[in-house]
Chains A and B, each alone.
Chain A
Amino acid sequence: MKKKRNLLLVIAMISSAAALAAQGQGLDPELLTKPATDSWPTYSGDYSGRRFSSLTQINQTNVKNLGLAWVSHLTPGVSAPGPFSRSGPGNPPTIIGGEIDEPVPVRGAGRISGAVLQVNGILYVSVPDNAWAVDARDGMVLWHYYWKTKGGTHIGNRGMGMYRDWLYFETPDDYLVSLDAKTGKERWHKVISDFNEQYFSTMAPIVIGNHLIVGTGDDLDAPGFLQSFDPETGELQWKWYTEPEKMGDPGSETWPTLDAMRHGGAGTWVPGSYDPELHLYYFGTANPTPAFSGVTREGDDLYTSCIVALNVDTGKLAWYYQPSPHDTHDWDAAQTPIIVDGEFKGKPRKLLLDASRNGYFFVLDRVTGEHLLTVPFASSLNWATGIDKSGRPVRDPEKDASPGGALVSPDSDGIVNWQPPTYDPQTGLFYVVTDEDYSVFYRTEPNLKAMQGLNGIQEQRVGSAGKYITAIDYKTGKIAWKHLQVSAGEGGGNTGLTTTAGRLLFGGDANGNLVAYDPATGKPLWHTHLGQVSNAVETYMLDGRQYILAASGDSLYAFALNF
């Protein structure tokens, strides 16, 4: 008996020594290929994009006992921490970076709306121009980094990437900044796209082996591209353009002119997923430009509004599939695709599931890009006349912006925007938030050929058929259930979703409740009112305790069971 206790003590000592050694060792990129339960080391928690955690400590039986573990309010910029800020002894100073003396003032951009990394008990959080390290056990701020911005659209920052002891994040004025995770001190920064061409950058960099995958966006008409950098040196490894680079290249036949192709837009602003066996990185490209007129770009406009598979070592295109050929409503195909190994029509297959912004759900073979299934997942869609032989919705040109106005669902936000979906292998269901909104698109520019970027139209939102969480059986395309996010008015933002093996589906509702639902039925099982939920929930085990981490504006909330 005593011997056994000693043995346990020794084991305990060894494991705590291992834990100590692990602290500060950073993140071994090899670990990213295995789904983790003790950390949240990359945008979706792992490469699959499933946002499914195998943790069961919090489950349907005890979720009613879920309570607040801590809250941490983060203050962007250089202003002093607010009265509710949690900061460490002596208030850790803000580390300031940037290339100009006087930053462009930005107000109200402190919303956490992307991934928060958790590695070795430390959380790494970002909003535009700001990054923090926070103790995952109590929310205490360890360091704060602030980038003095030149400007750019400050709509959001989708999070950071981590490689060993180093962090990476993008800024709205198009820099990639690398920080030392221990101290928050800057290692280097580099330009990733041209600010003067009105690029702006929000994507969470994705670390894959010795590649750092970095995307960028643009609201004018500059061409999109995805780049891979060496995470150690920041050196460019490859750059893949979302449009063919010259006439004659594959895909250029879907554009009428080189000029149209070179001003075709299609940013790369949503992080993708990755199959380590196939070495393929999957992501969705943004809309073509001009966004609301196709007359100068007749054709499918490859590879805009596409799901693409790139070889992560070479940056070469393996295959593509286009959910919105010749997109004329600014929908993009920018959603994180989900990797699932499962049965389809009785055969085991390597699948890719994607709920596109245009309101159609797609199942593809992720080895070849072969199309397997297309099904609408919203009841309001009215922009397509059918589905073609390759499973692509056929756009109704009558629903393009017109002088008298075209009533279209979805609006330019799409049925879903960037908010991540989730797949639960226990239910076999795919879950996505859906906004069944209607807009009238008016063309206000008389000269179709003069339309540029997002201009030339007025969009008037006229009503919603409801906000829902929608559960889809990928094998049949059938909607298993839809849960209405009831509210008195238009309601607030639907946020992304996460599932766990505890048979829970976490999301935010239209009134700012954080809710745990039954993934089999959509029935709410637990909730707390945060006022808003601004990112998708994350979960991990720390010191034997499972945490649920949510963000609400500039604050992080951690929940755990009250024993």
Chain B
Amino acid sequence: MHREKIVLFTLLGLGLAALVAGQPSVSALVQEPGATQESPPAPAQPPGSPPVRVARPPAYPVRTPADPAVVARGRQIFSANCSFCHGSDARGGEGGPNLVRSQLVMDDNNGELIATVVQNGRPDKGMPKFDLTTAEIASIATFIHSMPVGGRAETTGMVDPLVGDAKAGEAYFIGAGKCATCHSVSGDLAGIGAKYTDVRALQGAILSGERRGELSEAPRKTVTVTLRSGQTVEGKLYQIDDFVVSLMDANGNYHSYTRQGDYPKVVIRDPMQAHLDMLRTLSDDNIHNLTAYLVTLK
């Protein structure tokens, strides 16, 4: 299948803007929260017990059948602009969420809510903005709304991602996983199970260190640059490649240096490095158990 990171350069630009504003970095291809809130959050329950699933309220209001010509037009525009990420049937593709069952789309009448997202993009989720007119977006909306939301969406909500054992997860957290070295369930992780309403989003946050979480507050990489003179400059890493390193110091001043050979000396610290490293060794069972444990921290 064809796949390319078409959004990354848009993202870089938006990421820079976010950086200037002192925000955490953005990242692509995170599931849209609206699309993962199919099941209402499970009520609090003892660790390890099977999750309680609440049936979703039946049937959204039935929409008036639309003009087939408008649907067809919307399908065409969708196929050319949106289908690569959201799938040719709008039910989810590579990176982009299922739109048919997206909360925002369900709440939308004639493209008015969709237009806001399409025209502004979702930089925090890796979606670039599209320069489509309101009328074009309205026909896209008509196309998406023409598809039945039943069956699949209902059943999709029934696949329970919570498959781990909370007790084993707790043991791993304290023991072999060494999570307790940096984290505390009564400190930084207090209430994390309530903060994330979606199990998959929580699990993503565990793995990436919230780099990819829907409520990302991940601290940025920092850098120490040591000049030939011995002077050192420290701050948040702004950009680096083989040729330039730049940073923002504690006073909000921007510094940029040419890299030539071994100078200046550059030391980068990624607070999330431990999370990246554990991707190499973490078993799926341990991931599932950790998630089952953290879900209980309401």
Contacts and interface: CB of A to CB of B under 8 A. Distances in A.
Given A154-B81, A463-B276, A515 B6 contact: no
A440 interface: yes
B208 interface: yes
Contact of A461 (B92, B130, B200, B212): B212
Nearest to B25: A489
Interface string A136-172: 0000000000000111111110000000000000001
B242 A461 contact: no
Interface string A480-507: 0000011111111100000000000000
Interface string A210-222: 0000000101100
Given A404-B163, A487-B239, A458 B84 contact: no
Given A105-B132, A454-B94, A154 B80 contact: yes
B88 to A, nearest CB: 5
A465 B239 contact: no
**Range for the number of chain B residues in contact with chain A:** 35 or more
B282 A458 contact: no
Nearest to B93: A454
Question: Main secondary structure on chain A at its contact with chain B?
Answer: loop
Interface string B159-185: 111111000000000000000000000
Contact of A403 (B28, B30, B160): B160
Interface string B62-97: 000000000001011101110110011101111101
Contacts of A151: 75-77, 79-80
Contact of A527 (B2, B3, B4, B242): B242
Contacts of B282: 407
A330 interface: yes
A106 B237 CA distance: 36
B284 interface: yes
Interface stretch (A68-76, A118-126, A385-393, A443-451): A443-451
B145 interface: no
Contact of B221 (A488, A512, A531): A488
Residue among A417, A458, A510 with the most chain B CB within 10 A? Answer: A458
A459 B29 contact: yes
Residue among A155, A418, A512 with the most chain B CB within 10 A? Answer: A155
9 contacts: A105-B80, A108-B130, A156-B2, A407-B279, A409-B279, A412-B94, A446-B159, A492-B9, A511-B240
Interface of B: 1-6, 8-9, 11-12, 15, 25-31, 36, 73, 75-77, 79-81, 83-84, 87-89, 91-95, 97, 128, 130-133, 136, 152, 155-156, 158-164, 200, 203-204, 207-208, 211-212, 221, 237-243, 272, 275-276, 279-280, 282, 284, 287-288, 291
Interface of A: 104-109, 111, 113, 149-156, 172, 198, 202, 217, 219-220, 267, 269, 286-287, 291, 330, 332, 379-380, 382, 398, 402-407, 409, 412-414, 417-418, 438, 440, 442-447, 450, 453-455, 458-465, 485-493, 509-513, 515, 524, 527, 529, 531-532, 553
